[in-house]
Amino acid sequence: MKLTEGIYLCGSGAYGLTPEGDCHCYVIDGGEELAMIDCGLQNDPQAILAEMEKDGLDLGRLRYLFLTHVHPDHAGGCQWLQKNCGVCVMAGEEEGKVLESGLQKAFNLEKIPDGFASYTKILRAVPDHILHDGEEIAVGALKVTAVHSPGHTPGSYSFFTDTRGGRQLFCGDQVFYHGFISLLAPPFSAYGQYLQGLKKLSALNADGLFPGHLLWTLRNGHRHIDEAVWNMESGQRPELKPFS
Ligand SMILES: [Fe+2]
């Protein structure tokens, strides 16, 4: 689904594009090359490719998979895509270690109740490239910048690119529309670094904001990040508002 020039939504359980539980999976079209941002659960990564084809995106141009973090709903399909499409999987250092060892082993979750255990299983993979804060990656004619934005997980990364439509920011589960955040119990989230991570994203003054779940927006994306910063600095819980 084309969202704006150069930006597509090609996977999402919530929007019914791909199997239930998949996060929002975006594709950046830089012309000669494409980059996918997050890739959903491991159930059916081919469904994301099918959506890309429906949108007229040539799969032969798919070069990168940027991972915001390696929770199963964001990174479950990466092993399949790496093996079958030859994508270059890129993740931050801490997330890359979790991807390599597996979520269960990394967080000592092997003995948790069965009902939750399946969620923590992820097909392990070795990232092809470890990202560094501020690193710039050329995706065809577009330049994508990786930003270490700790909070939701200690190693979370966000990605921004400037298109003719403005500055587009892909923020994973770090911050959502209306300033919601996703804070997990330690050690899964980095509470002490969350505000710092949000402020880094706020300073980018994003136009489009494309989170891993819930709503995305093409305009004034920074307002939602600013709202999250204000909530956190003032000790307020995000106000529950209709999502409009
Ligand atoms: Fe997450």
C-alpha dihedral, 93 to 207 to 4 to 231, nearest 10°:
70
pLDDT digits (tens, 9 = 90+) for 120-135: 666 789 999 999 999 9
What is the distance in A from the centroid of ligand 1 to the CA of 31?
Answer: 29
What is the distance in A from the centroid of ligand 1 to the CA of 166?
Answer: 26
Compute the distance between CA of residue 128 and CA of residue 143 in angstroms, rounded to an integer.
19
Return the residue matching tokens 């973090």.
69
Q: Could you tell me which of 209, 148, 204, 203 has the C-alpha nearest to residue 175? A: 209
Q: How many CA atoms lie within 13 A of 130 on its CB side?
A: 10
For residue 137, the cross-strand partners are 144
What is the distance in A from the centroid of ligand 1 to the CA of 68?
Answer: 9
Which amino acid, one-letter code, is at 233? E
Instruction: Give the pLDDT score at 60.
Output: 97
What is the distance in A from the centroid of ligand 1 to the CA of 9?
Answer: 18
For Cα atoms 16, 20, 22, give the angle at the middle one, nearest 5 degrees.
Answer: 90
H helices, E strands: number in the chain: 8, 12
pLDDT digits (tens, 9 = 90+) for 186-243: 788 998 999 999 999 999 999 999 999 999 999 999 999 999 999 999 988 777 765 5
What is the distance in A from the centroid of ligand 1 to the CA of 78?
Answer: 15
What is the distance in A from the centroid of ligand 1 to the CA of 24?
Answer: 11
Compute the distance between CA of residue 141 and CA of residue 177 in angstroms, rounded to an integer.
29
Which whole number is the average pLDDT over 178-186? 90
What is the distance in A from the centroid of ligand 1 to the CA of 71?
Answer: 5
Neighbours of ion ligand 1 (CB under 5 A): 71, 173
* pLDDT band (50, 70, 90) for residue 106: confident
pLDDT digits (tens, 9 = 90+) for 61-83: 999 999 999 999 999 999 999 99
Q: Provide the mean pLDDT of the chain.
A: 92
Residue 167, classed as helix, strand or coil, is strand
Q: Could you tell me which of 168, 175, 178, 180 has the C-alpha nearest to residue 207? A: 168
Domains defined for the chain, CATH in brackets:
2-234 (3.60.15.10)
The pair of three-digit structure tokens given for residue 124, joined into one six-digit string: 């392990």
Instruction: Give the pLDDT score at 239.
Output: 72
What is the distance in A from the centroid of ligand 1 to the CA of 188?
Answer: 9
Q: Indicate if the alpha-carbon torsion angle 210, 216, 218, 222 is positive or negative.
A: negative
- Range with the poorest average pLDDT among 42-46, 56-60, 142-146, 169-173: 42-46
Instruction: Give the pLDDT score at 66.
Output: 98
The pair of three-digit structure tokens given for residue 135, joined into one six-digit string: 């690193």
What is the distance in A from the centroid of ligand 1 to the CA of 32?
Answer: 30
45-54 vs 78-85: helix crossing angle, rounded to 10: 60
Which whole number is the average pLDDT over 165-184? 95
What is the distance in A from the centroid of ligand 1 to the CA of 189?
Answer: 9
